[in-house]
Structure 1
Amino acid sequence: YSKVNPADTPILTLKITSDTLPLEKVNDLADTVLAQKLSEVTGVGLVTIEGNQKPAVRVRVNPAAISTLGISFEEIRLALIQNNINAPKGSFDGQRQAYAISANDQIFSAAEYRNVIIAYKNGSPVRLGDIGEVIDNVENVRLAGWVDGQPAVILDIQRQPGANIIETADRVKALLPRLRSSIPPTVKITILSDRTETIRASIADVQFTLLLTMALVIMVIFLFLRKFWATVITSVALPLAIVGTFGVMKLAGFGLDNLSLMALTIATGFVVDDAIVMIENIVRLMELGETPMQAALKGAKQIGFTVISLSVSLIAVFIPLLFMTGIVGRLFREFAIVLSVSVVVSAIVSLTLTPMMCAHLLKPEKPGDHSRLFLLTEHFFRGMLAWYEAGLKWVLRNQAFTLLIAVGTLVATVWLYVVIPKGLLPMQDTGLIIGVTDAAQSISFRAMVERQRTIAEIIRQDPDVASVASFVGAGTVNATVNTGRIYINLKPREQRAGIATIMGRLRAATKDVQGVSLFMQGVQDVQIDSRVSRTQFQYTLEDADEAELSAWAPKLLAKLRSLPELTDVASDQQSGGLQFHIEIDRDKAARLSVIPQAIDDTLYDAFGQRQVSTIFTQLNQYRVILEAEPRFQLTPESLSKIHVKSTTGQLVPLNTIAAVKTITAPLAIVHQGQFPAVTLSFNLQPGSSLGAAVEAIQKAQREIEMPETIVATFSGTAAEFRSSLKSEPWLLLAAIVVIYIVLGVLYESYIHPITILSSLPSAGVGALLALDLCGHDLSLIALIGIILLIGIVKKNAIMMIDFALEAERTEGLPPEESIYQACVLRFRPIMMTTMPMSRMMPINAMSERSCPQRSR
């Protein structure tokens, strides 16, 4: 078994081609020169070759010719082994000199192998070249690969764990000119796909986001305060908080990836809030006649506890994220830490640097000394405040109705949470599609090649496709001969349609190709898969009884294909292959002194591409392959030409000691946990959700009444979704409980935290309705957004509750009057911290292109 990183996809894929050299020579250069040099690059962890066409010497024997001469396949195999030896031979150690012993015991080329003597017949030598052809070729002739219709070798480059992707990719690209100069000029090296493109787009996006946020924050602060230096002081908090966060990220070993970038993007909206609250209070006191120093001292004292409450309670929201389990939990632990650090740094800056700068940079207020902008906007702000006061008075007069509305929003929030479609992670458009072709299980390699090239050519004609890499043949890429793999690189995002649209178009274009089906899935940065499957999501059946499993898996497959929530439903069950079964007559074979092992060895020699010897060179090692001539490998009738040598040295025709018949048999039997298993994979129909698909599959299983002895489980992304679905309500509840505890400690009250948290249902309704109207699932990203919303909403409540409590304690006001006064006083800072969130609208449009996680 193997442990894999689910996100460890190649960071770079290189295409190696030549118009003049045979593919095996190109493969040899890729293996002995390019792969070795690329593996030495700092940060590169693994270089693998796809479409592997490793050079080999192929010995193709004519069965009819050797049977006439009385030579068996086993004699040829032993001759090849004995004539190509690489073994130590000792040394001489004299009085003054030492000598190592060597010999020409190795054979390195097909031309030399042709002269190997197999036997003597009638006093004349029978050489290998007399009984067949010996050629320099490839190890496995039933493997093939192309890029854009041209035979090619593919190099996949993966990074070391923890290595910086962009730096590693840049080092590889810098090495390519030197590599090109070290190989023949007819061999071309081309970058087929570059995973760093989406990462660079995300970095560019977040850089623009930071600049846009700063600009919007500055604009909002200036519009509300209408003071130049007050705007500058508040704006200083943002870069300081971000730089401080970078420092902690460096110490913690975090890199700039999609999750940390998402945390920084969200942090840009949070880190200015504390500074806004602080400076607005100081400016308000200055407007009441205080000097800058007095206002800074008094304002910091008044608002200090509020800032601490805001920051501590916001960090408390992230605590449940730190304890999330599974792969998703590990992913978002970094997100929670980065966001928490930014909040802490922001609070420190707001409590120390902001009051100091206010005391020294703000100018005292002079009656009637207002700018033209102040006079133009004051009427608007006063009108807005008057409108708010009127609404606030109405709410305080109709408290019962208001409470009824609050209860209604709570019920609506719970109902929306239950009914809204649910998913795990938003589907990304990374510009890369993996396709799997699936043909009849009895198809030959030649027929599969023909269909594969037809499919690839149709895909190439699509206007949004940049390149197509295609592979067939059983090997490291495909498990069986009847499956093929296609890698589809799309054009840059701004030049093409969305990946879902393109896949739908390709399905329609290839559905009429006879004898083959194409299944596709978009490559995701986070792959949570337990095995390679044809499509995105997996449902695995296990059973100790392989026959029972084989009978019920097709029934469930047919049922799933009828579900409207699913598309591209596929199965990895391969139980319908053709097999030519040889029934040995053991009595007759024993009478003729033929043992079953001799039969197996002869058949393997003739039809199994048997590796019988190894050629060792200074750079690599190559195989010697023994087989019958290709024309004898086309039909089972060639078995009549096969003779087996008995223990007495006589050649016995195979058909005299065995009968043959055609049967069906599995091409492959997949096991999971030591039990036979079948994995049904599927994609989602446009508009469907993973949650709806999971429910539909479970219902379909119950409807066909599948035996309980068959254990059915979701795997990969679907399994992680089910696990997260169970923990989501507890995660939300944990966030609310932690905030309640923290607020209870801060306010030393059981009631005030409930008052603060009472604003959550209305925000929850708005968030869930927005998801539904925009057609988004309640994914894990959206859930984290709701958790963040808890932090955002309670910040506004804290600012009002703090001032109301202060008014009750210092001025002796009744609760209703104190909360009214607090709402009016804190209206401006609440609006100032809320309005910068409007920046999310343009960011949503940009992030949908480069990183849909941030757009949610």
Structure 2
Amino acid sequence: MNIARFAVPRLNAILFVTVALCLIGAWTMFSFPVGILPDVTFPRIVVIAEAGERPPRLMEVGVSRPLEEAVATVEGVRRVRTKILRGAAEISIDFDWGLDMLVAQQLVTAKVNEARSALPPETTIVVERMNPTVFPVLGLSLQSKTLSQSELWSLATYSLKPRLGRVTGVARAVVQGGRVPEIAVEVIPERLAAYHIGLSDIEQGLVQGNVVRSVGRIDRQFQQYQALVSGETVSEADLKRLVVAQRTGVAVTLDMVATIGRGVEDRTTVVTANGAESVLVNIVRQPTANTVSVVAGVERELADLKKTLPPGTEVSVFYDQSVLIAEAIASVRDAVLIGAALAVVILLLFLGDLRATLVTAAIIPATVLITFLLMRVAGMTLNLMTLGALAIGVGLVIDDAIVVVENIFRHLAQGVERGAAVELASQEIAAPMISSTLTAVVVFLPLVLVTGVAGAFFTALAVTLVIALMVSLLLALFVSPSLCAAFLKVRPGAAEHGRLFERVLRGYDKLLRGAMRYRRVLLPLGIAAVLGSTAFFGSRLGTGFMPTMDEGAFVLDYKTLPGTSLAESDRLLMQIETILKDTPEVRSFSRRTGAELGLAITESNTGDFSVMLKSGKRRAIDAVIEEVRGKITERVPGVEIEFVAVLQDLIGDLAGAPAPVEIKLFGENQAQLEDTAHKLAAKIEKVRGAVDVQSGVVESGPELTARIDPTRAGRLGLTTDAVAAQVNGAFFGTVATQVLEGDRQVSVRVRYPQAFRDSEARLSGVSLRTPGGAYLPLSAVSTLENIPGTSEINREDQRRLLSITAHLEGRDLGSVVRDVQKIMRAETLPPGVTYVISGQYQSQNESFTNLSLVLALAILLVFGVMMFQFGTFKAPLVILAIMPLSLFGVTLSLWATGTPLNVSSFMGAVMLVGIVVKNGILLLDQAQKAEQSGMDREEAVVHAGEVRLRPILMTTLTAILGLVPLALGIGAGAEMQKPLAIAVIGGLTFSTLFTLVFAPLFYVGFGGKVKHP
């Protein structure tokens, strides 16, 4: 069937459908879910268990191990990793890709519930499914000159949090920092002894006195009344009058044995913003929500909230993910416009006809808008990968239209009547055009085999490109011939080519005919030279995992020395805040001490800075980080630091690859592991390009242990548990009850005053009450021991491990790892200690292995498509022979620009398989037709070169120029696709030259019989 014969008479209907689809596509642009990364289900679930202040060794045995053993039996579990701190354990469960993670979460929760009976009764457990929406899209800081930190916390918790949580698309608002208000009941030990009252008596008195209980119903005069008995406490005055004990006929009220006043929970974290103590409110979006719309909605709600804030109180933004997204969208828009403009220039130069140029260029906006519509129907989101695909495709989607319009234009110039020229030209080109587009599409099919972060992210890019290419093919087949029939006018006898192209054509004809005469020498020499050069440049390429981006923000993780108090850590970190304030590129920052971004559990001497840089013209983020790192190292030597980009940190958390380089040491002897880790970390620090090297040894502060003598305690009727409960009540205190203040419940904590909790002597003197009613100090049944701090315990698949990590600066991942491998091979590890090099290097190797398989399968699929097109082995084998030669352009371009071979550039090589054959199909299809019409093989292939030179050059140049904005890294987010663009530009440039020269030589050299129709 001749598609043009069907389409041209139906021009109005086709244009109506096309315009309608474009308008719907334009409308869907404004309703797209927008995020920073593709909406991917990551196969990872995190279980966080907290059990008081138990030392890591007890957490390992009593909490972590039972949970690990339970969740390891869930079907599909690939790896179980655990991080154990004092009182907390974080268990990360990695599953096979492709599983239903909602079902997996339910199975994990069920196994956790089964294991609860083996855990300490006070253990609390949270099970979270990991995905990009777990992390905040907007960070707000609340500061005040007039309100206390507890008042700020109340304002954030009871005012900002509920109102912002109701904004469309917000999953939750998370409050960090501030001081949680409570009522402090501080007992007077001397009076307790005088009245023979223990802490348990006071706690019991508060529980039994502050009661509201329904006791029945009473009917009276046609009405029913609820009968209540109430001793509800609604104020501090009520608390003071509460009777807590009866002694010798005297009612002992609470104010007789304790002081009652407003207080706050013990401080375990410090949170600041821009150097001032703050309360942070982090906004987490729903999985399907539009990040930009969510942030805009929150900002509108904030505008109303600010009108009601107390005087001197301000809310400001310290992190905004929508800024990067908005800049990325603007960058894609600019890349599309620049690419389209350059394509139009190429069309004008080669065709010299404004109407033909406009007919061809109209395909670009139509393709982009209809692609938006189909992406929305497919449930896709706008993100860095899908937007990047549109920017990559702007020069590719016009290829088919160029081929159609150029062929029609050529026939019209030869004097063929317009209708006949449209039908004849469209029929000539339809089969090879469909075949060449399908080759560009099928290369992406094997991507379903790629797992991990690379597969998840680049599959989104590939699907978007496939949609765009198929849309452009349909538009070229149906719309372009119709527009040509309606609007294209070429004067019969007009020159087919401009003067400039005539010269190019004559030069190419002379080159090709000359090469034919010496093909037996040129082919082997040329192939040997190209393949040798490819090997030369390829061996000098660096390697990496994912491209690094200048996203305008970074995270600075830190650790002060083990055992450093919260106040001293705060003092040290204020110096880092000063450094950040003095850095001109820094727009805002926040600090968490004793807490971190995401779900990570932390010690009080650890935390992070979240730093946002100014938009616009500034130094690159790497230069800013290098300067800040140098100043911190010089001025604050007692702090261990690590820099990561926000997205890199997020992807590392999701993928379980926290650093580019990670050496996992396995063994059962913790001291041996720590000693080995310290030695190896010291050596790795000397590797060029390795920075922020961490040994993985994380020590908690020292412990002051009251060692109970069971014999002495037993004689007095005391158990260790009973002693611990009484000392805990004295020091930590116990929340005995709660007081209702308006619509808020305030905890009432009972414990000793601060003066009785500030020294070893005070600890030894804590008064214990025996079952017989006698009182004695803690020292009567125990001795105090100073124990050095214990280390954080890490486990993987129920084995202990330590992970040495390093980041990169000024050197590629592969080169750094090669040096690390030399160190590891030269090191003699203690018996029982083994190692594995992991991190992003392992992810890189897995991705390269998968992409190599994808490349092989893509070549196989492309060969199959060409077999259907040509019906013989000859032409497909000729085109296939050009593919390895295109790798020369890839390696040369990567080497010349200093770009490493990473997942992005590897994807460029995979894309090339589908792109480079398009030119070969156009050329050899024409040669085959000419040969079938009776031409000599050599003359046929030269004729084909002359006929197809212009469309080949036009499609190649538009594709290359369309990728130029990405290759230059212009705009936010362009770094993710920059290596891909560089690889495609280099490969396409040289493959086009090889197709135009070597393909004809191969074709003639293969010989064989011609298949005549």
Asked if 1:645 corresponds to 2:765, the answer is no
Q: How far apart are the structure 1 equivalents of 2:972 and 2:899? A: 15
Tell me which of 327, 347, 372 is aligned to 1:201.
327
Counterpart in the other structure of 1:601: 725
Shift of 1:483: 0.9
- What is aligned with 1:683? 807
What is the CA distance between 1:230 and its match in structure 2? 1.0
The separation in 2 between residues aligned to 1:699 and 1:629, in whole angstroms, is: 58
More deviation, 42-51/125-134: 125-134
Name the SS of the counterpart of 1:434 in structure 2: strand
Supply the distance in 2 between the matched residues of 1:109 and 1:712 (Cα, whole angstroms): 61
Find out whether 1:802 has 2:925 as its counterpart.
Answer: yes
Distance, in Å, in 2 between the alignment partners of 1:531 and 1:758 is 38
1:490 matches 2:613: yes
Shift of the alpha carbon at 1:214? 2.1
Counterparts of 2:914 and 2:557, CA distance in 1: 45
Alignment of 1:382-401 (within 5 A): 382-399=502-519, 400-401=521-522
State yes or no: 1:507 paired with 2:633. Answer: no
| 1:443 counterpart = 2:564 | yes
Change (3 A) 1:177 1:228: same
CA contact (8 A) 1:44 1:158 kept: yes
**Alignment partners' CA distance in 1, 2:236 and 2:838:** 49
- Provide the rounded CA distance (Å) in 1 between the counterparts of 2:423 and 2:913: 31
Q: What pairs with 1:424-503 in structure 2 (closer than 5 Å)?
A: 424-473=545-594, 479-492=602-615, 494-503=616-625
Equivalent-residue separation in structure 2 for 1:641 and 1:353 (angstroms): 91
Where does residue 825 of structure 1 map in the other structure? 947
Query: 1-side partners of 2:314 and 2:821: how far apart?
Result: 51
Deviations 1:707-763 (A, max 9, x none): 575564566644432321322322222222221122122212223212112222332
Q: Work out whether residues 213 and 229 of structure 2, in 8 Å CA contact, stay in contact via their aligned partners in 1.
A: no
Aligned pair partner of 1:528 in 652, 657, 665? 652
- Alignment match, 1:264: 390
Alignment map for 1:229-268 (pairs within 5 Å): 229-268=355-394
CA contact (8 A) 2:717 2:770 kept: yes
Q: Which has the higher mean CA deviation after the structures are superposed, 301-310 or 381-390? A: 381-390
> What code does the residue aligned with 1:385 have?
L
Is the 1:291–1:364 contact (alpha carbons within 8 Å) kept by the matching residues of 2? no
Tell whether 2:863 aligns with 1:743: no
Residue aligning to 1:581? 705
Residues 658 and 427 (structure 1), Cα distance of their counterparts in 2 relative to 1, 3 Å cut: same
Counterpart of 1:496 in 2: which secondary structure?
coil
Q: CA deviation at 1:648?
A: 0.9
CA deviation string 1:57-84 (max 9, x = no partner)? 2334455664566544333433443343
Query: In structure 1, what is the equivalent of residue 73 of structure 2?
Result: none
Deviations 1:163-206 (A, max 9, x none): 22222222222222233345435432222221111111111111
Take 1:413 and 1:618, find their aligned partners in 2: how far apart are those partners? 76
**CA offset digits 1:118-173 (Å, max 9, x no partner):** 45678776655565544323323222211122221111111111222222222222
Instruction: Please say if 1:55 is aligned against 2:178.
Output: no
Q: In the alignment, residue 194 of structure 1 is paired with which amino acid? A: D
Of 706, 709, 714, 1:590 maps to 714
Q: Secondary structure of 2:904's partner?
A: helix
Task: State the distance in 2 between where 1:721 and 1:94 align.
Answer: 79
Instruction: Look up the equivalent residue of 1:503 and give its one-letter code.
Output: I
Task: Pick the aligned partner of 1:404 from 511, 515, 525.
Answer: 525
Say if 2:480 is the partner of 1:358: no
Quick one: structure 1 residues 584 and 111, their matched pair in 2 at CA, closer, same or farther if it must change by over 3 Å? same
Shift of 1:481: 1.4
- Where does residue 187 of structure 1 map in the other structure? 313
- Separation in 2 of the partners of 1:514 and 1:61? 43
Among 961, 974, 977, the residue aligned to 1:851: 974
Question: More displaced, 6-15 or 160-169?
Answer: 6-15
Is 1:26 aligned with 2:26?
A: no
Aligned-pair distance for 1:234?
0.8
Deviation string 1:460-515 (CA, Å, 9 cap, x unpaired) is: 221111122112236976511111221112111x2421111111111111113142
- SS of the aligned residue for 2:318 comes to strand
The answer on whether the counterparts of 2:402 and 2:951 sit within 8 Å (CA) in structure 1 is: yes
Q: Quick check: 322-331 or 189-198, which moved more?
A: 322-331
Contact 1:293 1:360 in 2 (8 A): no
Q: Against the structure 1 CA distance between its residues 186 and 654, is the aligned structure 2 distance closer, same or farther, given a 3 Å change threshold?
A: same
Give the letter aligned to residue 396 of structure 1. Answer: M
Compared CA separation, residues 683 and 92, structure 1 to 2 (3 A): farther
- Cα deviation per residue 1:326-352 (whole Å; 9 max; x = unaligned)? 232222222222211211121122222
Check if 1:339 corresponds to 2:460. Answer: no
Deviations 1:803-841 (A, max 9, x none): 111111013322x22222211221111111122222433
Q: Return the alpha-carbon distance in structure 2 between the equivalents of residues 669 and 611 of structure 1.
A: 31
Q: Aligned partners of 2:620 and 2:418: how far apart in 1?
A: 55
338, 341, 346: which is aligned to 1:220? 346
Most deviating of 793-802 and 166-175: 166-175
One of 751, 754, 760 as aligned partner of 2:883: 760
Query: Structure 2, unaligned stretches of length 5 or more?
Result: 1-46, 48-127, 980-1013
Q: Does 1:283 align with 2:405?
A: no
Matches within 5 A, 1:99-138: 99-110=225-236, 112-119=238-245, 128-129=254-255, 133-138=259-264
AA aligned opposite 1:501: A
Structure 2: how far apart are the matches of 1:135 and 1:717? 53
Q: 1: CA distance between counterparts of 2:641 and 2:925?
A: 62
Contact kept, 8 Å, 2:667 with 2:800, in 1: the verdict is yes
1:629 matched to 2:753: yes
Residue matched to 1:733? 856
Provide the aligned length of Structure 1 versus Structure 2.
847
Shift of 1:307: 0.7
Tell me by how many angstroms 1:115 deviates.
4.8
Asked if the contact 2:332/2:391 (under 8 Å) is kept, the reply is yes
1:684 offset after TM fit, Å?
0.9
Residues 662 and 809 of structure 1: CA distance in aligned 2, closer, same or farther (over 3 Å): same
One-letter code of the match for 2:927? A
Any idea what the Cα deviations from partners look like across 1:428-481, whole Å, max 9, x if unmatched? Answer: 222222122211112122212211222222222211111221122369765111
Runs of 5+ consecutive residues of structure 1 not aligned to the other structure: none
Deviations 1:333-390 (A, max 9, x none): 22222211211121122222222222332224244x67xxx9xx93322222222223
| Structure-2-length-normalised TM-score | 0.78
SS in 2 for 1:529: helix
Output one character per residue of 1:56-114: Cα deviation in whole Å (capped at 9) or x when no partner. Answer: 22334455664566544333433443343455554435573322244553435555545
The aligned residue for residue 640 of structure 2 is: 517
User: Once the two structures are superposed, what CA deviation does each residue of 1:514-570 show, in whole Å capped at 9, x if it has no partner?
Assistant: 422222211117613259998666544444554543443333333333332421012
The alignment's C-alpha RMSD in Å is 2.8
User: Identity percentage over the alignment?
Assistant: 26
Q: Could you say which residue in structure 2 is the equivalent of 1:782?
A: 905
For residue 651 of structure 2, give the secondary structure of its aligned residue in structure 1.
Answer: coil
Alpha-carbon shift at residue 249 of structure 1 (Å)? 0.8
Q: Decide which moves more: 266-275 or 467-476.
A: 467-476
Q: Which range moved further: 690-699 or 331-340?
A: 690-699
Determine if contact 2:813/2:841 at 8 Å carries over to the other structure: yes
| Maintained 8 Å contact 1:535/1:570 | no
> Which stretch shifts more, 704-713 or 799-808?
704-713
